[in-house]
Structure formats: structure tokens, C-alpha cells
Amino acid sequence: MSKLIATAAIRGSHKLILNAEQMLEKALAEKGKDFVFEFPDTAFYLPMIYAMTGFAVKTLADMKVALGMAKEMLHPEPEEHIWKPYLGEALDSGMATLFAEEIILALKYINGLEPAVDLGTGYIYNGFITDTIQRNLGIQLVDGRMPGFAAIIGAAPDEDLAVKIVREIQEKNILTFLSGQSRDKNGNLTCVTKQLLNKKVELGWDTYIVPLGPDTEHTLYALDWSVRASLIFGGKKPGDFKTHLKYTKDRVFAFALVLGDLDDIKWSTGAGAINMGYPAVCDTEIPVIHPTGVCIYEEVDRELDHNKIVQRAIEVRGLKIIVEKPPIPVAYGPAFEGERIRKEDMFIEFGGQRSPAFEWARTRELDEIEDGKVIIVGTDVEERYKKGGLMPLGIVVDVAGRKMQKDFESIIERKLHHNINEAQGLWHMGQRDIVWMRINNQAFKDGITLEHLGVIHNTLTHNRFRSIVDKVQVTLYLDEKDILAVQEEARKAYKERDKRLAGMIDESVDTFYSCLLCQSFAPSHVCVISPERLGLCGAYNWLDTKAAFEIDPTGGNQPILKGEAIDSVKGRWTGVDEYLKKNSAGKVETLNLYTIIDNPMTSCGCFECIISIIPEANGVMLVQRGHTGMTPAGMKFSTLAGTVGGGTQNPGFMGIGVNFITSKKFLYADGGIKRIVWMTKSLKERIGEDFKKRAEEEGVPDILDKIADETVAEDSEKLLEYLTKAGHPALEMEPMF
Amino acid sequence: MDGKVIKTANKEAAQVLQWGESRGIETCFSRAEMLKPCPIGESGACCKVCHMGPCRLVGKNAEEDVRGICGAALPVVAARNLARMVDIIGIEFEGRPVNDVAKDVALKFMEDFSRQRGEINYIKRAPKKTQERWRKWGIIPRGIDREIAETLDRTTMGMDADADSILNHALKASLANGWGGSMISTDITDILFGTPGPVKAEASLGIFKEDEVNLVIHGHEPTLAEMIVDVVYEPEMIEYAKSKGAKGISLGGMCCTANEVMMRHGIPTAGGFTNQELGIMTGLIEAMVVDVQCIMPALAQLSKKFHTKVITTSEKVKIPGAMHIQFNEHKAKEIAREIVKLACDNFPNRKSEGSHVTEKFPVIAGFSHEYIEYMQGGRWRASFRPLNDAIMAGRIRGVVGMAGCDNPRVPSTGMHKYLAIELIKNDVLVVSTGCSSASCGTAGFLTPEMALEQAGPGLREVCEAIGIPPILHLGACVDNTRILTIATAMAAEGGLSDEIGGMPAVGIAPEFITEKAISIGCYFAASGVPVIFGGESPVGASKEVTKIMTKVWFERFMGALHFEPDPEKILAMALDYIDKAREALKLRKYEPGKFGAERVLMDMAARRELEKGSAVPHAGVGG
């Protein structure tokens, strides 16, 4: 019965708090109370404690205070007979456990013991999950590519079952965290991480399998990560625990799969997770807790059949997963997108400057193509393929549909990369005439043929663009002379497209599009996407949203009729304002698309890049996600990001997509690219060519050299020094405000 | 019991009673046997408000044909009688401000008693829709005293002669009790003495100790009792008891004072109303300290047969033959010590006579509405979501508030026991107060094990998940207001009714005795809860009054006040109300053992809609 669970959870919290206390006392004795600690790359201190209590743990002395808070949540174990109620008490104990675990892991970091390393294999676990990773994943969290999260705790009965369970989760696009240990069917203490390593399963963020550490306590990293979604994307305030926990319950679709026997620490950590609305499904004969209300459905359930356990967990969490798998003999899904194929695992490759290759999506008339057909053009194709090695390859995806528009070609074509990459054992890079594809030995053994490449494009193009595309036909060219000939045609089409796109400016359209995809995580944020300003995540430009609206008229991208221009310099329109009022949960009244100073665009939290004003330099700086160094704004990216997200307007700060920097509308009302006084070296490199072009247009061809980066300045004093020496134009410009 | 009339359903009480009977000791049970109720008064057909009467409005077609001397018809007489019963308000609040803020709070609440216009403060606590109903029918009390005075005025000879009008005012006066006096009392008592949380205690006539000084606190008002709890375990007191030959001091409670100190301190209870004489008959009680309400005047004479000292302490309650020590808040502890010492002094006088009972029953008590919220999710996730979910999913069929007295005219406590067991078997969560709690407690029903042994499968799952008994002890009868607060929280949580009315909830007072019980029944009815009282109707003589209190009130307020002597019919009526409410709320049909959520699986689009309220999984799992 559930008393058993409560008893174990309460007992576990006592143990962990004692453990934390002993470790903390030792650290205090060794390092003193003022010793400063922060987890790598986070703006949220000890995130669980910070989110729940608003208390920022910065030093060992602070940890002691936080541990005191945890102690207040301890309760005695329920008695054997005539017990007092225990559910609330067990949940409190669970939270105490999370606090204690956070402190324990922090102390392990201080002692150099984190991230943990597997002694047998030398495998380094992920450890604490940084804010950067959180933001990197932003768009996947909202567009359905990562609809849920599983924490697998313990070990499967054997390695094959471990692989089976994880693969099934991968195919459902669910991100998996691994932690904790238990005994396998032979009685050996092990963990899923080791079981997968032994089976040579590729682990890491790219494959949606993230080993956090070997102990149950490491599960906290996943919980820490999820509570930050509420702080970052939800814009909820630290200490406002009720809204955080409602956010995690309603919006973060996480659950635990507990494999093998449970001990007090597992139960107690589980009780902590239940506070967040995350249920647990176990594969052993455990008591269950079915009544709902703390979690949306069951709190604790069991499923002894490993063939059913993943499906059971998904139901228990109330998760809807739509998996569209093409009929191919390998697994398929975004979780396989990040797989790499090393040379020694490779069976065959195409392109990559080693053989001619291209891919091209082309509009045809409905009666010109046959739906679902894959045409293979070439001599001795099968024999050449079976030999492996290297082949040339031209892929033409012909699409026809009553709602198809020429503009959508590029969007369909851009998806060809994902189409191939999401197949297990297939790898794709580049686009157009610089593509590079590989098929690994395992996929070949599993029966992947050339025709399957066409099948994948056929199925996925239909799935992704179902209301635009009525017919899809794929032609694969495998003889060099054919390829070179068709490639010429394709190149002509690419060029035309680019020209057309370049001419597409905000003034030339009467409709912008919104992107509300992030509202599943950031309920008040609205991205307004115009031809010259792409979404801040970098994933959606105006054409994408236009196509998305055609595909799903009630989906996350909606047309915004611009209406009257109220201020064409700052970029304000009546239609945009009206739309915002209605769709930002009343949070945003008005917006200027071309300035950072006056009612700038809000952010969800998954911006590629942040612009921050540097008042003393009369300009702005740009820093991209993932940059961990200090910036002249006096804040690191993670701290800056903390002030920008959550759907609020913050004059002087804004999240943007990287490609917006080279748009003519970039801070148009504030002086454009001439305002940029600092940006990271890697940004400079990334936008280099386009930026030079823009600089010339603006009449400041040498501005890139005058813009400082982290190699010359990480504070405003040095920055000013550099700018003065370089004669940066911003210093002479009108004051920004 | 050999063909004899079964007087009590409690084994321990029966034992003491039998012992007393064999010695010819008179109790409420024997008096009830001797003195049958006046059939005219019992049904509300007697009017004695003026000296032209008393008028008996009886006979064939009394409702239509018979008038009092003044011309008042039967419905008017019955309605007046009921209204005057409602007038008795459970004001048990005599709190002392502990600082300036408390003083302000106290003054603010005291204003509620004497205010002549406007609305009493706590009305605002009720769900908006419930308030709207009250406003529509004009029953929001202006001030507590004001509505009482008006009742007396309105119901005297030559005044209001419209039964509906009189009863409407009776509801207004009852709300002054429920959402006024009683709610203030519960809150202020919690502020002064602490909000109850779960405690383990004991219930039985067997709580008295052979070798210790037994001191009993009896009545309804916890101020003095709290002070006695405070001082009784002081080392000087224990020493004093030892100096008198006792091993220590054992404090026990009786009636609702017992409930108050059990809820906050786990002090054991010797039982409810009908146990007060039996307690003395154990011969083990050195002193029985009484405050207000439900104190049988018979105690004083009975105590003379034993060594027990009955001590009255309230200016409002004096009994010839009892000792009086006037309680004074400014010298509270001194008085408390004086009483404890007095009890100790009496220890050497204990005689060997008495019927000693040994069996005791464990009790889990302390379910304040604050703790009930906490227990469903802990401090981080406290809410009424799980309870609402459980009702929606059909794990819990509905909720019954069991309250009221225990009555010597039926096998005392028997109706409570029967209904409690049957209700939980039917997956109905029972919340109990007052002597219903005492009846269940002394029967051993207030334990978590009860859920495993007796509750229906759905209720059992919920009780197991939380670790609670299927019958929750909410406190004294004044704490019935906790039920109102809970119902309000359930309405706010969403997924069930958005007002108190319409909830799958019923109030039952199976063995009611007192006027205040009628008042409580009325404020529950006015708040939207159908209420069933066990026993014959005190207004049964008038069909019209009966109709107003059932059909008419249900239409207006979604509550009603029924009287029904047959326990099986009470049960059937309660379940019927619950099932109809479930149906009206479009909840899944209750089927024992079949429950669960219809899953609303969330894709990304559904998640984006969360804020707009169109897809709200956390508002429950009905279907």
C-alpha cells in the first residue's frame, strides 16, 4: 500500500539530509562559509531551491540556510497501526530530498567529483545541465520534436531489454535521462548507461539519451532542468512555487521509468518529482498510487511487461505522441537525427565534394507526376550500391498540389535534410549542390536500399506538408552525366529563388505571420515574423510561417494583417498591435519591430542570440547562446538570458535569430549595424560574408574590424578604449535614448 | 439484551448503564423511557408565544381548518417554532486579543454581532454564486444580534403570518449563526489555540484511570479547557496529585469541549452528550468541569451518589447542587490550577462504587480544513484538486457531513454508527463533527484501518493514498463551518459545482436534539446543502412548512431540510441526492469499483491552448 511508499520516502529524506549535512560541515570546515559556488553555466543558482523558495544559494553559508529549510520539511515515519496521514508529509519529504540532493551535488562539484565518471569505461556523465542546453533545445520542446521527457532510473533486467526500452522511447521522440543503479537479472549492480554502452548505443544530447550520473541523486539534474523551463520560458518568478509546480505539471511532460528494485532514496526522489506532477512507472511488484490530482493521472503505477512499460508511462503522463514513420527497415525519429557515422561504420557515402550530388525540390503540375513513385535512373545501380563506398547522387523531389506555391519549394527542400537524418543509420549534411550523405553498415544490413531514400522523402514530404502537397514523386539520378545535367537546371532554380527572396522586404507584403509555437512553454510570448525579421529561435522565417499556415490554418503560425503603419521607422503597425493584445494573454500592448529601445519584441527564451545595450559605448553588443565568457554588459549570456525571456518586453535587451543581424531592418530605427560595438568572435565568423555585404551597403565597409570581441574586451572600460582607438562610428552617433 | 429496549448502541455505555439500572440510578435514558414526548409539541403544532394560549392546532385537516386564538394557522405556528429554534446561535467565541492586530480583528468581528445594516464579514468567503442566491432572496444577515432580535419580534403574536416569510427570515438568522457566530468562533479559536493538525487520541468511557486523578472537561467552549490543558501537566500539579495518593492526573473530555481539546492536543474523549451521566457512574471522575451548552442539569444530583464534583464555570450556566467557580479570562491559569487542585483534593474521596470500563478505541482526529488541504499535496501542492478529482472519477461518490447530537430516544449513537458504516461502504467520504465524531470515535471508527476494512473500493484507494480514515473528525459542532469552508474551496478548485449548492454532498444529523442543531441544519440548507435530520419532524404537523423547507428551499438555494426517523431511508435519500447531483454535474455515473480518468492526451497544440482555458487537464478528469 502507499504507506510503504510514504514511509520509504520519509526515511529517504532523513538519510539524505543527514548526508548533506555531514558533507556540508566538512566543506565548511575546509573552505569556510564564504566559499562561493555556482553550477556550470546557469543564472539560477541552485535551481530547485531558487525556484521553490526564491533564495539564491551563492555560498556554503547559504547552503546551510537552504538545508535548514529542507529540515523543516522532515516528518516522522507513519506508525505501523493507527497511522496519521502521510501523503502531504511524504511529498514534503520528497521536496526536502530534492533540496538535499541539490546541495550534495553542489558539494560534489566543489570537491571535483562531478560530472561523475564511470570507472570501468571512463565514460563521463553529463552532470549538471546548463542553461545553454536548455535554450538550445527550446524550439524542439515546442514544435513537437521533443514532446516528452523520461527519466530512467536503475537498470533493465538485461542489456537487450535496456536497448529495447530506450529505442522505443527514442522512436517516440522522447528525451531520456539516465541515472541510478539497480540489480540486473543476474544480480549484478549496474545501470542503463552501462548497459547501453556495452551495446554500443550512441549516447548524448544528439541522440536524445543523456546519462546524468550513476546515482539516484543525479536524477535531480533532470528535475533542475525542468524547473528552469518555468523560470526561463514561463517567466515565473523565483519563490512563486505554486506557479512553478503548476507549470511543470501542466507543461513539462516528464515521467520516471524505474527499473529494478526501489530503495528509500529512489522513493524519496520520486516523491520530490511527484510534487512537480511527474509520475513514476516501475517494472517491479510495488504498491501503486492511482488517485489523481497531485499528478494529472496516476502518481505511481507498475507495469511488469517491458513490452508495454513505455506505452503505459506515456499514458500515465497524459502524453499524446504522433509518430510518422516511413516504411523503412530502420528506426525513425528526431532522436536519431544527431547520430554520427564515422568512417569505419560507414557503408556508403554520396556527395560531400567527393562525388557529384545535389537535391532539389521542384513544383510540377498534378498530371505530370505519379504520387508515391520512386524513379531510379542509372546503370547497374543495385550492384554499385551493394559494393558500398562512394556513389554520385542527384535527388529531385517533384511536388504538385492545388495549394502549392513556388515559394514553398525552398521550405520543402530544407526539410530533405531532416527527412534523411532522422532515419537510424542514415546521415545527411549540407543542402542543394553541397549535400553529403552516409549510410552505415548496420542500416545496410537491416535492408536499407537506394529506393528507401525516395520512400523517406515521399512519406515525409506528405506528412510535413500534407495540406499543400497532393502528390510527391522522387527521382534518384545515379549516373554522373545525368546528375551534372539536372544539376545545371537545379542551380538555375536556386539562383532564381535567391533573387526572389532578396527582393522580399517588409514593405512588399501586407501580411506578417505570428509564431505561437512557444506558447506551450511561454504562454504570453508572440513572435512577429516579417520577411526581414526571422523568428528569434532562428528556425522560422516568413516563408516558413506562411507555408505552415497553409499547412495548418489553426496551427501555431497565424497571419497578421499589418494594417496602417503607425511608425514606419520603428516598425509599428495597427494590425500588429491589435493581434498582440489578443494573443499575448494581455501582456503586450504594442510592438516596434525595428528598435530595441521602445517596446521591443518579447522573447520566449530560446533566442539564438541576445542584443544588449551598452550605454557608455552608445551602442549594442551581441552574444550568442553557448558563449560562456563574460561580456561588456557585465553579465554572462546565461544571466542576460534570465532577464530577457518569459514573454516580457525589456527595452535595451532583446533575443533575436542570428540571421536578423544582417537584415536591413536590424535596429533600423536605432542606427542599424553601426550600433554594434561588440560581438563574439564566433558570431563574427558565422555571419562574416553577409555582414561584409551589409557593411558595404551601409557605407562602413571596415566596421567588422572596429567591432570589439572577447579577445580585446570583456568589460566596458576595455571596450571603450578599443572603440576609441578603432574610431567606431557609434561613438559619434546620436545618443540611443 | 434479553428483549429489553436497546438504549445505546455503544457497548461500553451499555455496560455502565446496565450497572446503573441495576442500582436504580436515573439517567437520561430512563427519563426518556418514562417521559414520552408531547405529540403536539413534537410536531410543531403547539403555540405558546402569547398568553391567549397555549394553542394546540390538531385534528383532522388541521393545516386547513384549525387556527390559534389569534387566527394563526398551523403553517405559521410551525414556522414560528422552527424560526425560534434557529435563533439559538452557537456563539462560543469569548476570545481575548493577544496583541493590537488581534484586537482589531476581534473588534471587527464583534461589530458583526451588533451591526444594524450592511452585511456580516464572512459572507464574502462564500462562493460568488452562493452569495448571489442569498442576495436574490434577501437572506444575507446584517448583523448577528439584529437578526435574532428580529426573529423574536417577527414570530410573536400579531406579527408575520406568512410561513414562507417567517422561514425565509429563519434562514437569514441561521446564516448569521453559520457564516457569522460559528465561523468566527472556529477561526478565532484556531488563532488563539492553534489550527488543528492530525493527532492520535482515544475515545471511550474507559479512558479514566484507576490510579490517577480523573478530571473531565465538558461543554462547548475551549477557553478554560485550554488553560486546564496548559497547567495540568505542570510538575507542581503532578506533585500535588501524588501528595493526594494518585499516580498522576488524567485529563479527559466530554461532548464538544472534548472535541476542541482532542483536535488540538489529543486529549481523550469519554464520549458525547449521552455519556455525561455515564461518565460519573464509572465512579472514577474526581471533578467534571462544565462550561456551556448541553450540560444536563441532572449531573448535580447524580454526582451526589458518587464522589464526583460537578463544577460550573460560566455565568450563563449555573446548576443548583453544583459547585460554581466563575471563570475569568484575566486570571485564567490561576483558576485552572485551582480546579485541578480541587480535583486532586477529591481523589482520596473516591469510593469503590462505579462501573469500570476498560476498553478504549484509538482515534485519529485533527482534520481542520487547512490540514485537509495540506494532506492532499503537502505544503508545496496543497489543494482540493485530488478530492475533486476523486469525486469526478467516481472513486468518491460524494461527501456527507455527519453532525449533531446523540439521542437517548433512539439506541444512542446507533444511527451514527449505522450511517457511517453504510456511507463509507458506498464510497461516500464522511466528515464528522460534534457528537457524531464522539459516536464514531467511541465505536472505533475513526482509524485509518477502517478504510481498509469497511470502505468501498474507490474511497479505500483515496484513503490509502493519503493515509486517512474514511471518516474525518473535523472538530466540535461549531466547526461545522469548516465543512462550509471546504465546500467553498471545492467550488473554487473547479470541476464540480461552482457554488456550494449542486455539490454531491449531503448533511446528516441522525440523532438531533438541540435547537442549535436545527439552526445548523438551516444554514447548511441555505448554503446549498440538502440536510437530513433523523427523527420526527418538529414541524411535521404542517405540510406547507414541510414543503417550503424541502422543495421550495431546494429550488431557491439547492439545499433542503428533511426529517426522517428511518435510518435506511436516510441513507437512501442521501445517496439519491448525491447521485442526482453527480448526474446534474455530468460526472461519470457512480459504479462501485469502476472509476478512473478518461485521459485527455495532450499534443503540442493542446498545450498552447492551456492558457486560454479550452483544454485544462488539471481541472479534473471527468468524463
**3-state SS of A214-255?**
CCHHHHHHHHHHHHHHHHHCCCCCCCCHHHHHHHHHHHCCEE
Report the pLDDT value the prediction gives residue B96, as an integer from 0 to 100. Answer: 52
Comparing CB atoms, the residue among B374, B377, B599 nearest residue A294 is B377
Within 8 A of B203 by CB-CB distance, chain A residues are none
Answer yes or no: are the C-beta atoms of A178 and A219 closer than 8 Å.
no
Within 8 A of A588 by CB-CB distance, chain B residues are none
Within 8 A of A250 by CB-CB distance, chain B residues are 607, 610, 617-618
Within 8 A of B617 by CB-CB distance, chain A residues are 250, 296, 318
The model carries a pTM of 0.85
Report the pLDDT value the prediction gives residue A227, as an integer from 0 to 100. Answer: 94
Helix axes B385-393, B457-466, angle to 10 degrees: 160
Comparing CB atoms, the residue among A1, A246, A319 nearest residue B602 is A319
Cell matching residue B604: 503540442
Answer yes or no: are the C-beta atoms of B12 and B442 closer than 8 Å.
yes
Comparing CB atoms, the residue among B375, B393, B596 nearest residue A88 is B375
Q: Is the pLDDT of residue B533 over 70?
A: yes
Comparing CB atoms, the residue among B364, B464, B610 nearest residue A82 is B364
Find how far residue A114's CA is from the centre of its chain. 23
Q: What is the least distance, in Å, from the CA of A71 to any CA of chain B?
A: 14
Q: Do you find a cis peptide bond into B54, omega within 30 degrees of 0?
A: yes
Give every CB contact of residue B83 below 8 A, 6+ residues apart in sequence. B151, B154, B155, B166, B167, B169, B170, B173
A152 strand-pairing partners: A178, A257
Report the pLDDT value the prediction gives residue A465, as an integer from 0 to 100. Answer: 87
Answer yes or no: are the C-beta atoms of B429 and B401 closer than 8 Å.
no
Cα-based torsion angle of the residue sequence A720, A722, A726, A728 in order, rounded to the nearest 10 degrees: -30
Please answer yes or no on whether B448 and A82 come within 8 Å at the CB atom. Answer: yes
Site from A296, A525, A526, A551 to mutate, B interface, most B CB atoms within 10 angstroms: A296
- pLDDT grade, residue B621 (50/70/90)? very low
Give every CB contact of residue B344 below 8 A, 6+ residues apart in sequence. B213, B237, B240, B241, B243, B244, B246, B249, B286
Q: Using a pLDDT cut of 90, give the percent of chain B over it.
A: 80
B500: DSSP letter: S
Helix axes A450-464, A409-421, angle to 10 degrees: 130
Report the pLDDT value the prediction gives residue A625, as an integer from 0 to 100. Answer: 86
Cell matching residue A424: 537510424
Give every CB contact of residue A23 below 8 A, 6+ residues apart in sequence. A103, A104, A107
Answer yes or no: are the C-beta atoms of A135 and A607 closer than 8 Å.
yes
Averaged pLDDT of chain A: 93
Within 8 A of A278 by CB-CB distance, chain B residues are none
Residue with cell 548533506: A20
Of A474, A496, A492, the closest CA to residue A393 belongs to A474
For residue range B420-445, list pLDDT tens digits in order.
999 999 999 999 999 999 999 999 99
- pLDDT grade, residue A49 (50/70/90)? very high
Report the pLDDT value the prediction gives residue B595, as an integer from 0 to 100. Answer: 84
Report the pLDDT value the prediction gives residue B622, as an integer from 0 to 100. Answer: 30
Please answer yes or no on whether A291 and B465 come within 8 Å at the CB atom. Answer: yes
In A, minimum Cα distance to B199 occurs at A84
Report the pLDDT value the prediction gives residue A268, as an integer from 0 to 100. Answer: 97
Comparing CB atoms, the residue among A2, A84, A516 nearest residue B608 is A516
Report the pLDDT value the prediction gives residue B2, as an integer from 0 to 100. Answer: 45
**A644 vs B82: CA distance, rounded Å:** 65
- pLDDT grade, residue B611 (50/70/90)? low
**B44 vs B85: CA distance, rounded Å:** 11
Residue with cell 536524477: A219
Q: What is the least distance, in Å, from the CA of A636 to any CA of chain B?
A: 31
Report the pLDDT value the prediction gives residue B85, as an integer from 0 to 100. Answer: 85
Q: Do you find a cis peptide bond into B268, omega within 30 degrees of 0?
A: no
Cell matching residue B82: 422552527
Please answer yes or no on whether A322 and B605 come within 8 Å at the CB atom. Answer: no
Answer yes or no: are the C-beta atoms of A217 and A104 closer than 8 Å.
yes
What is B433-471 written as a DSSP string?
EHHHHHHHHHTT-SSTHHHHHHS-HHHHHHHHHHT--SE
**A686 vs A608: CA distance, rounded Å:** 12
Neighbours of A186 (CB within 10 A): 8
User: Which runs of consecutive H residues, i.e. helices, occur in B9-99?
Assistant: 11-22, 28-34, 39-42, 62-65, 74-86
Please answer yes or no on whether A88 and B395 come within 8 Å at the CB atom. Answer: no
Comparing CB atoms, the residue among B465, B601, B608 nearest residue A319 is B601
Please answer yes or no on whether B200 and A555 come within 8 Å at the CB atom. Answer: no
- State mean pLDDT over A307-313: 94
Q: Is the pLDDT of residue A552 over 90?
A: no
- For β-strands A511-515 and A559-561, DSSP reports them as antiparallel
User: Which runs of consecutive H residues, i.e. helices, occur in B411-563?
Assistant: 414-425, 434-442, 449-454, 457-466, 480-493, 515-527, 543-547, 553-557
Report the pLDDT value the prediction gives residue B107, as an integer from 0 to 100. Answer: 85
Report the pLDDT value the prediction gives residue A112, as an integer from 0 to 100. Answer: 95
Which value does ipTM take for this structure? 0.92
Q: Is the pLDDT of residue A590 over 60?
A: yes
Please answer yes or no on whether B375 and A87 come within 8 Å at the CB atom. Answer: yes
Q: How many CB pairs under 8 A join A and B?
A: 158
- pLDDT grade, residue A586 (50/70/90)? confident
Report the pLDDT value the prediction gives residue A1, as an integer from 0 to 100. Answer: 52
- State mean pLDDT over A407-422: 89
Q: Tell me the domains of chain A and their CATH numbers.
A: 1-321 (3.40.50.2030), 334-498 (3.30.1650.10), 506-732 (3.40.1470.10)
**B297 vs B26: CA distance, rounded Å:** 13
Please answer yes or no on whether A292 and B389 come within 8 Å at the CB atom. Answer: yes
Please answer yes or no on whether A520 and B449 come within 8 Å at the CB atom. Answer: no
- pLDDT grade, residue A501 (50/70/90)? confident
Q: Tell me the domains of chain B and their CATH numbers.
A: 51-193 (1.20.1270.30), 205-349 (3.40.50.2030), 380-596 (3.40.50.2030)
Please answer yes or no on whether A520 and B387 come within 8 Å at the CB atom. Answer: no
